[in-house]
Amino acid sequence: MREALFIKKNAQKWQEYEHFETDDPDEMANRFTTLVDDLAYAKTFYPHSKVTQLINGHAVAIYQSIYQNKKEKYTRLMSFWKTELPLVIRKNHKTFLFTFIVFAVCFLMAVISSMRDFEFVKGVMGEDYVSLTEENIANGDPFGIYKNTSEGGYFSNFIKLFYHNVRIDFLMFICGLFFGVFTLHLLFQNSVMVGCFQYMFFAKGLGIKSVMVIWIHGTLEISAMIISATAGFIIAKGILFPGSYKRLASFKKGLKDALKIMIIFVPMTLCAAFLESYVTHLMSESFDKDGKGGIPVWASISILGGSLGFIIWYFVLYPILVERRLKRRYIAASNSLIS
């Protein structure tokens, strides 16, 4: 059978499987068996064709659904964090990479602009904020801004920081509904602000010390910002680039993936706000003129290393490993059915 005839004969069935999901285990098993038969035929006669990859993708998706539905209810939460969310992250790795590149480019643009004209920093951060920071540096307390807590104490400061970060990042997420334009705008604004803020300390010879203080909480805080912006872009992508899906179906799939990704944003933002409220100011005391109190440098390095390690592992490496593991299981299941 020619490939064109094979596609014409089965295209409607594949589209139905793709666009109309089912929770019926018997129907899922029937679909999986049918797709495995089609995949065996396609691999035999059209091994390098795109249609073979398409069938393989549909079969993998159904196999993953069958595998997840076999889980007991009490393991559902663990399954979400160990398998389901990493697969969603892996599926959207290119969007994560795009968001990170946008952040990095805007950050570098801010640094270069600040190097050429320090007035750029004042324009972005505000003259009052820059003047206060310069005054703290002159007084031997360069990171004194982190010692200023609200009248309610550290807990009140923690709540305010958490609310502030959630508000900005949630806006990035929800603005994906407007084709990602405002998400991009907010990401640009905040990335430039981070670049200017960081350069301000490097320009005063406090670069390494600022990294040790600011990025105690900044690693998770900025990562959460990138995650929420990515979620917004996923929604926009579902609207603008539906691919083989109908636009509404593509939007629903994108929104579903974005909501799953935003779940991890909450604990990360909580942790970042906690670190900024209760830990960052302790590290800042290690670098003031008295040098008393505070926490040792190795503690800052440990927190930084742990936070960065978690981000790289859970958002880059682990999703790839989960995908490969499930593919091996799928291939084994396919081979057993074909034989």
Between 169 and 50, the more confident residue is: 169
Per-residue confidence band for 286, with pLDDT thresholds at 50, 70 and 90? confident
| pLDDT of amino acid 25 | 62
Query: Which are the contacts of 8, defined by CB distance < 8 A and separation ≥ 6?
Result: none
pLDDT confidence of 336, banded at 50, 70, 90?
low
Local structure of 339: helix, strand or coil: coil
Is 168:190 a contact under the CB 8 Å cutoff?
A: yes
> What is the pLDDT at residue 136?
85
Angle between helices 50-69 and 318-338 (to 10 degrees): 100
Position 311, amino acid: I
The four Cα atoms 92, 98, 101, 103 give a dihedral, to 10 degrees, of -90
* CB burial readout 33-62, b (16+ within 10 A) else e: ebbbebbbbbbeebeeeebbebbbebbbbb
Q: What type of residue sits at position 58? A: H
Cα dihedral 37/43/44/47 (nearest 10): 160
**pLDDT at 139 > cutoff 90:** no
Q: Residue 69: its pLDDT value, please?
A: 52
pTM, to two decimals: 0.77
Q: Can you tell me the distance from the alpha carbon of 117 to that of 111, in angstroms, rounded to the nearest whole number?
A: 10
Q: In the predicted model, what is the mean pLDDT of residues 266-286?
A: 88
Which residues have C-beta within 8 Å of that of residue 186, sequence separation ≥ 6?
Answer: 168, 171, 172, 175, 229
| Backbone Cα Rg of the chain | 25
Q: Taking residues 192-219, report their average pLDDT.
A: 92
Distance in angstroms between the alpha carbons of the first and the last residue of the chain: 22
Helix intervals (H) in the chain: 3-19, 25-45, 50-69, 76-79, 85-91, 93-116, 119-125, 127-138, 154-174, 181-202, 207-240, 247-278, 280-285, 297-312, 318-338
Mean pLDDT of the residues in the chain? 84
Environment class of 240 (CB within 10 Å of its CB; exposed 0-12, middle 13-18, buried 19+): middle
Write down the pLDDT at residue 284.
Answer: 78
Q: Is residue 167's pLDDT more than 90?
A: yes
Distance CA 334, CA 5 (A): 24
Arithmetic mean of pLDDT, 1-26 = 72
Report whether pLDDT(338) > 70: no
pLDDT at 29 over 80: no
Rounded distance, CA 311 to CA 100, Å?
A: 12
pLDDT at 207: 87
Two tokens at 168? 């900005």
